[in-house]
């Protein structure tokens, strides 16, 4: 781990580089305040965070895309604070990212090898996408190598691993039934490195920014919950933070997507909203520079940041509902009950002979 104090007089520190670009201490402090606030850190931490950022050296980040749809990369590109340009050029050194880098083919492979060698034991490894394990991981290859092999090799020298998106965190949609590629998340394969999961399909970009800023500032991962998610962003459910929560408490629900309740902006619980069981920061940070989030746009939460969300029943079945057994099964159960009841009654009849005194 880089010691911030050792870098105080170093021209290669973030502070020196930012100053060279005309970004002063005040701007850095503003950024630190925003990040500290989003991480739910005490206000007094912001100056310390800014000071540590100024002293820190840029952290090498190697980003590997596995079995994924590039939505997670897209979401990072839409991070509003800081922007991706700031992240890349100011706070991190994104040494390998197949979607964003100019190099390709052998040159890209060399870049990856060089980045690993130059930052051995110090780089952050960011993963998006699940890892197919069936048939030796042959279902997703990069440069002829399976994602499975790449993860094992590159994770070995990483300082910590960021599993970005639900696929990297828990397997996501590729893991959904019947999971033809044997897809799993990072934590299913790597156990000897600090891992932080930032689930979501895609994840909220500001969460990634906040986690990176925290790691660069303090040299460690923020507090995590039992599913290795940053508590500051995943400590509460969507339901708890939802602006429609009051309607839930009042029993005011939209019964369809175009009824009066929907127009009034009432709770979408009846329409299958998974907000009560989903932990994420969508309702507080929102998307597109804080413009909106799915519930605000009139659609219930689909629970995309929870494990196995794709297999957890219909998005439009309320949490109060269950999986019905079907009339056929109900009929079979009734038939079994009737047969058992008749048999029990017959047995009882045979056991108790009629009382002779009952005869006329």
The answer to whether residue 330 forms part of the interface with another protein (CB under 8 A) is yes
x-marked contacts with another protein along 183-202 as a string, rule CB under 8 A: --------------------
x-marked contacts with another protein along 201-240 as a string, rule CB under 8 A: ------------------------------------x-xx
In this complex, which beta carbon is closest to another protein, that of residue 15 or of residue 230?
A: 230
Helix (H, G, I), strand (E, B) or coil at 187: helix
Question: Which of 20, 324, 328, 356 is close enough to bind another protein by CB under 8 A?
Answer: 324
Which two three-digit tokens encode residue 102? 């100019």
- Piece of 33-41, 88-96, 288-296, 306-314 that binds another protein (CB under 8 A): 306-314
Helix (H, G, I), strand (E, B) or coil at 285: helix
What is the spatial distance between Cα 61 and Cα 126, in angstroms, rounded to a whole number?
7
Question: Which of 102, 249, 297, 328 is close enough to bind another protein by CB under 8 A?
Answer: 249
Owner of token pair 């994104």: 94
| Contact call for residues 34 and 53 (beta carbons, < 8 A) | no
Which two three-digit tokens encode residue 237? 């459910």
The answer to whether residue 104 forms part of the interface with another protein (CB under 8 A) is no
What angle do the packed helices 25-38 and 205-218 form, to 10 degrees?
120
In this complex, which beta carbon is closest to another protein, that of residue 290 or of residue 321?
A: 321
What is the spatial distance between Cα 111 and Cα 34, in angstroms, rounded to a whole number?
33
Helix (H, G, I), strand (E, B) or coil at 57: strand
Looking only at residues 251 through 270 of this chain, which bind another protein when binding is defined by CB under 8 A? 251, 253, 255, 269-270
What is the spatial distance between Cα 327 and Cα 336, in angstroms, rounded to a whole number?
14
Owner of token pair 């039934």: 177
Q: What does the binding site for another protein look like in residue numbers (CB under 8 A)?
A: 237, 239-240, 248-251, 253, 255, 269-270, 276-277, 307-308, 312-313, 317-325, 329-330, 333-338, 340-342, 344-346, 348-349, 352, 354-355, 358, 360
């Amino acid at each position: 781990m880089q010691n911030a104090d050792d870098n105080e007089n170093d021209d290669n520190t973030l502070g020196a580089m930012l100053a060279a670009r005309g970004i002063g201490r005040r701007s850095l402090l503003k950024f630190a305040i925003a990040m500290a606030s989003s991480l739910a850190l005490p206000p007094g931490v912001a100056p310390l965070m800014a000071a540590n950022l100024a002293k820190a050296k840029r952290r090498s980040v190697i980003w590997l895309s596995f079995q994924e749809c590039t939505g997670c990369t897209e979401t990072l590109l839409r991070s509003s604070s800081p922007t991706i340009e700031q992240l890349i050029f100011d706070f991190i050194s994104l040494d390998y990212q197949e979607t964003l880098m100019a190099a390709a083919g052998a040159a890209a492979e060399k870049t990856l090898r060089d980045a690993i060698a130059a930052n051995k034991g110090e780089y952050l490894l960011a993963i998006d996408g699940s890892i197919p394990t069936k048939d030796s991981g042959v279902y997703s290859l990069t440069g002829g190598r399976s994602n499975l092999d790449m993860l094992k090799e590159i994770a070995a020298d990483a300082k910590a691993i960021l599993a970005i998106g639900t696929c990297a965190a828990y397997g996501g949609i590729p893991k959904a039934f019947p999971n033809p590629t044997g897809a799993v998340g990072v934590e299913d394969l790597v156990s000897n490195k600090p891992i932080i999961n930032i689930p979501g399909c895609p994840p909220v970009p500001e969460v990634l920014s906040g986690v990176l800023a925290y790691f660069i500032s303090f040299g460690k991962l923020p507090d995590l919950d039992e599913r290795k998610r940053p508590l500051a962003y995943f400590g509460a459910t969507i339901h708890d933070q939802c602006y429609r929560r009051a309607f839930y408490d009042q029993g005011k629900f939209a019964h369809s997507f175009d009824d009066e309740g929907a127009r009034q902006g009432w709770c979408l619980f009846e329409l299958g909203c998974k907000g009560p069981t989903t932990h994420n920061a969508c309702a507080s940070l929102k998307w597109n520079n804080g413009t909106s989030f799915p519930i605000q746009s009139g659609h219930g939460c689909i629970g995309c940041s929870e494990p196995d969300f794709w297999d957890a029943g219909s998005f439009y079945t309320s949490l109060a509902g269950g999986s019905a057994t079907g009339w056929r099964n109900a009929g079979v159960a009734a038939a079994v009950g009737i047969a058992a009841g008749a048999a029990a009654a017959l047995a009882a009849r045979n056991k108790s002979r009629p009382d002779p005194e009952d005869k006329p």
